[in-house]
Amino acid sequence: MARSSRAEVAEKRQAVLDVAARLFRERGVEAVSVAEVMASAGLTHGGFYGHFPSKEALAAEACGHAFGRACTRWEALASDPGGEGFARLLEQYLCAAHRDAPGRGCAAPTFLAEAARDTPGGAVRGAYAAGIRGLAGVMERLLPAAVKRRRRERALLALAAMIGAVSLARAVGEKDPLSEEVLAAVRTELAG
């Protein structure tokens, strides 16, 4: 049997990260087994340790991977020549579609509890903090040009409000009108 090329190994690792990031965001790290991640990626459980030393390492990399994708999407909005990136972000982030699809959504609300429960200096907490720093940096560039003073503080405030709103809306549940009310209130306040 021929050994896998580096490209094939990298492709398989990417598939595992994609699946893990989605499943962990949907159900949480504890609720998803390594075997389930590997099977969903079309690989055998036995191959897991060829890619990652532990489930914790996978969770940290999946968290960082998901944040990286979010930063890429936000960067595209920040480079909007019309300066409407922040308004578009608010519409895309603070909506029912984002609330209802945690597996495809931002890592910030979904990995929040995982990072908070991780040990001080833990890998997931570190990946989460790095991801938040990345989003905060992009948020500074996304804010409207009129925001000149205390830009960093306003970026952090907007980021915290958005993450909190999505987290609350998901916790309340899509069938409760309060869920949409929270999203709409934060969207309106940040847009104003």
CATH code (residue 185): 1.10.357.10
Q: Which residues contact 162 (CB under 8 A, 6 or more apart)?
A: 90, 93, 94, 108, 186, 190
State the amino acid at position 135 in one-letter form: L
The pLDDT, as a whole number, for residue 3 is 57
Residues in CB range of 103: below 8 A, 6 or more apart = 22, 23, 25, 26
In a domain, 74, yes or no: yes
> CB count, 10 Å around CB of 192?
5
Residue 41 falls inside a structural domain: no
CA 170 to the chain's CA centroid: 14
User: Rounded to an integer, what distance in angstroms lies between the CA atom of residue 183 and that of residue 169?
Assistant: 7
Does residue 185 form part of some domain? yes
Q: pLDDT tens track of the chain, all 192 residues?
A: 445 688 887 888 899 999 999 999 999 999 999 999 999 998 877 778 788 999 999 999 999 999 999 999 999 999 987 779 999 999 999 999 999 999 999 999 999 999 999 999 999 999 999 999 999 999 999 998 888 889 999 999 999 999 999 999 999 999 999 999 999 999 999 998
Total count of domains within the chain: 1
* Both structure tokens of 43: 């690989």
Q: What is the predicted pLDDT for the residue at 4? A: 64
27 found inside a domain: no
Tell me, what's the pLDDT at 50? 80
Q: How far apart are CA 134 and CA 128, in angstroms?
A: 10
**15 inside domain:** no
29 in a structural domain = no
Rounded Cα–Cα distance for residues 24 and 133 (Å) = 21
Q: Is residue 10 part of a domain?
A: no
**Residue 1's pLDDT is what?**
41
111: containing domain? 55-191
Residue 13 is assigned to a structural domain of this protein: no
Strands (E), 119-164: none
pLDDT of residue 83: 78
Cα 186 from Cα 192, distance rounded (Å):
10
pTM summary value = 0.91
Contacts of 174 by beta carbon, 8 Å cutoff, 6+ apart = 96, 99, 100
**Residues in contact with 53: Cβ distance below 8 Å, sequence separation at least 6, in sequence order:** none
